Structure 1
Amino acid sequence: MVFGFLILLLPLVVIFGIMVGSVKISPGEVITQLITWGNTKTVMSKIIWNLRIPRTFGAVLGGAALTVSGILLQALFRNPLAEPYILGISSGATLGMALSILAGIGFSQSPYGYMTLAILGAFFVTIMILSVARFAKSSVVLLLVGLMFAYIFSSIVNVLITFAPDEKVKNFTLWTLGSFSGLTWTQLKVLFFPTTIGLVLAFLCSKQLNASLLGEEYAKNLGINPKRFRFYTVAVASILTASITAFAGPISFVGLAVPHITRLMLGSSDHRYLLPAGMLLGASFTVLADTGARTLAAPVELPISVLTSIVGAPIVIILLLKKGIK
C-alpha cells in the first residue's frame, strides 16, 4: 500500500509542480505538452519546457539523491542524525562557490564556471575522505574527519566573506540557502548521469547495508570487508551529495528527515524496500517544497531549505510521537 501510494504520488506532484507558478497552467495543458513532447511553439509551451520541467525534474533528482545519501550514511554510521552534509562534502562545494562568487577566480565568471568550481570543491573533499576511509578503523573516525574538513572550509569561506563586497556576499548567501531556479536542460543532463549512477550503486548494496545495521563484527561474519564497504558507501553518498550541491546549493533536512519518515511509513528498516521508497518520497517532498518556495511569497522566492525544514521537522516529530518512539 505504501509503495502504491508513493508511485501514484510522484507523477501527481510533478504535474502539480509544472502547473503552479506566476502563470497558471491547467492539468490538461501540462499532460498534452508532455504527450506531444512540446511540439507546439506557443508561449505556454516555452514556459513549460524551458522553465518548469527542468526545474521540477531537477527537484525530483535532488530529492531522490539526498534521501538515498542520507539513508546510506545513517546505516553506515548507525546514527539517526547522520545526513548527506555531515562529511564536509557540502563545505567543499561551498568553498568552490565562494571562490567563484566572492573571489571571482579565473573562469568562474559564468554559470558553468560557478558549477565547475563547486563540483571541484565537493569532489576534492570526497577524494580526501575516501583516502581516509581506506585506513580508518571505524566509521566514527571517518565522521570526525569529515567534520574537521567542514570546519576548515567554513573558516576559509568566512575569511572570503569578510573581504568581499556586499553585493557578492548577498549573491553567495542566496546560493547557500539552496534553490533549483534557473536550472537549464544542459545542466539537467549533466546532473542526470552522476545522480543516476549513484542511485543504482546504492541499490546494489542494500543487503550489505542491512548487515551493517547489526555492527561491523556481524558484517565481517557474513564476508563483508568493513573498510571496503565504508569506502564504497562514502563514495556513493559523496557522488549524490556533491552533484546536487553543485547545481542547487546545500539543501538542508531532506537527507535527514525523509529517511525517518520513510522508515515510519514502511514500519521497516530493510534497505531493499527503504531505498526505493525513500527515493520516491524524497523526490515528491522536494518538488512540493520547491513549488512552495516559488509560489507562497510570489513574486519573491523563498529559499527551499526554509520550507524543507519548517514542513519536514513537524512531520517527523508527529510521526515519532505517534509511533511512541522516545
Structure 2
Amino acid sequence: MPSETVAIPKPKERRPQRRLLPAALLGLFAIAAVIAVGLKGGSPSPSWGELAGLISGEGDALVRTIVAEIRLPRVVLGLMVGAMLAVSGTLMQGAMNNRLAGPELLGLSAGASLAAAAILVLRLPVPYHLQPLCVLAGGLAGGAVVIMAARIARGAAGMLLIGMSVTAMLNGLLIVLIAMGTSNDVNLFYAYLLGSLANRGWEQVLRVLPWFAAMLPVAFVLAKRVNLLQLGDDSASGLGINAGLSRIVILLASAMLLASTVAECGPIGYVSLLAPHLARAVILSQDARLVLPVSALIGAVLLALADQLGRLLFAPLELPVGVWTTLVGGTVFLLILSRKNGGAFHGGK
C-alpha cells in the first residue's frame, strides 16, 4: 500500500510580521492626515492650492509665516515627542516585565518639574536659553537617583517600588517649592505642569531632534534584550545576559528619551502607557522588535492629534495637550483594563 504524505501545517509564526506592514502604512497615512489638519486648521485656513503655494514660497507672507513658523514646527514637535514617549514606555514595560509600568516611575518627570520650579521660584540666575538644559539635567538627575538606587533592588518589582518612592520624595520637594512661590509663579508653573506644545517653534524642535535621532536607534538595538527580560530574570540569565545590568541600560535609554520631552513640553501623561498596549493589540505580538516601531507611530499620532484637538476644538480657547492625553488616554486605558484580567498586564501575558 503506497504511503501517503501528510502535509503538516506550518505554525503561524509570521502572522505578526504580516500585520506589521499594514499597521505601518496606516500609521504613516494617519501622520500625513494629522500634518494636513495641523497646517490647515485654524484661522487663517488656506485651501489645498494655497497650501501648496505656501510650501513653494508663494502666497500671502503673513499666512506663510503662520503655517511655516508656528503650525508646522508644532506638528513636527508633537510627532517627535509622541514617538519618543511611546518608545520610552515600551522600553520600560519590557524592562520591568509589567504592562502597567510607566516612565513616570523613573523620577524623570518629577526631577524635571523640580528643576523648573527651582528656577522659577528661587529666581536662579539661569539665562532663558539655558533653562531647558537645566530642566533636562534635573530630569536626568531624578532618573539617575532611581537607577542608582535600583542597583540594590532584587528584581523588577523592587525597582518599581524604589522608583515610586523616589518620585514621591521629589514630588514632596516640588510641593514645598510651590508653597514658597508667589501666585504668579504658581500660575506659570501650573501651565508647565499641564504639558503643552503651545508657543513651541523650530528652536524646540532642534533641541529635541538630537535626542530623537540618537536614542530611537539605541532603543531598537536594545529590543533583543527587552525580549529576553520579558521571559523573566532567570530565563534571561540562562540565555547569557546579565538581567540586572540590562535592565539598568534599558531604563537609562528610557530616561533619556523621556527627559528631553519633559524639558521642552512639560510632563505629558498616558501616551507612554497607552501606545505600547495599542501596538501589541494591533500586531498581536509581544516581540519588542515589532512593538517598538508600531508603538512609535501610534504615539506620534496620538500626541499630535490630541494637540490639534486642544488647539481647534474650542478655538479661540486652547486646552493644553496634557489635559487631552489624560482625558482620552485615561478613558481608553480603563476600557483596556476592563477587557483584560490582572494577569494580562504582568509578564507579557
- What's the TM-score, normalizing by structure 2? 0.86
Q: Report what 1:175 is aligned to.
A: 192
Q: Report what 1:77 is aligned to.
A: 96
Query: Which of residues 323, 326, 335 is equivalent to 1:306?
Result: 323
Letter in 2 for 1:216: D
- CA shift, 1:209, in A, is 1.3
What do the CA deviations read for 1:208-266 (whole angstroms, capped 9, x no partner)?
A: 21121110111112211112211211111001100000000000111111111121122
Between 22-31 and 292-301, report the one with greater CA deviation: 22-31
1-side partners of 2:321 and 2:151: how far apart? 35
What do the CA deviations read for 1:153-207 (whole angstroms, capped 9, x no partner)?
A: 2111111111211111011001100001121212211111012211111111112
- CA shift, 1:98, in A, is 0.3
Q: 1:145 to 1:10 in 2, by over 3 A?
A: same
Letter in 2 for 1:99: A
Which SS does the other structure have where 1:21 is aligned? Answer: coil
Q: Report what 2:113 is aligned to.
A: 94
Q: CA RMSD in A?
A: 1.9
Which SS does the other structure have where 1:81 is aligned? Answer: coil
2-side partners of 1:186 and 1:210: how far apart? 36
CA contact (8 A) 1:101 1:114 kept: no
Query: Which of residues 40, 59, 63 is equivalent to 2:78?
Result: 59
2-side partners of 1:176 and 1:250: how far apart? 6
Q: Report what 2:346 is aligned to.
A: none
CA contact (8 A) 2:74 2:200 kept: yes
Q: Which structure 2 residue ranges, 5 or more long, are not aligned?
A: 1-21, 342-349
1:157 aligns with 2:178: no
1-side partners of 2:273 and 2:121: how far apart? 29
Report percent identity of matched pairs.
30
Q: Report what 1:325 is aligned to.
A: 340
CA contact (8 A) 2:89 2:276 kept: yes
Q: 1:77 to 1:96 in 2, by over 3 A?
A: same
Over alpha carbons, which structure has the higher Rg? 2
What do the CA deviations read for 1:255-311 (whole angstroms, capped 9, x no partner)?
A: 111111121122111111110011111101111100111122222211212211222
Which SS does the other structure have where 1:219 is aligned? Answer: helix
- What's the TM-score, normalizing by structure 1? 0.92
- CA shift, 1:319, in A, is 5.4
2-side partners of 1:39 and 1:204: how far apart? 43
- CA shift, 1:31, in A, is 4.3
CA contact (8 A) 2:197 2:320 kept: no
Aligned length: 320
- CA shift, 1:32, in A, is 4.4
Which SS does the other structure have where 1:86 is aligned? Answer: helix
Q: Report what 2:148 is aligned to.
A: 131
Runs of 4 or more, structure 1, over 4 Å off, are 38-41, 317-321
- CA shift, 1:128, in A, is 2.3
Between 88-97 and 121-130, report the one with greater CA deviation: 121-130
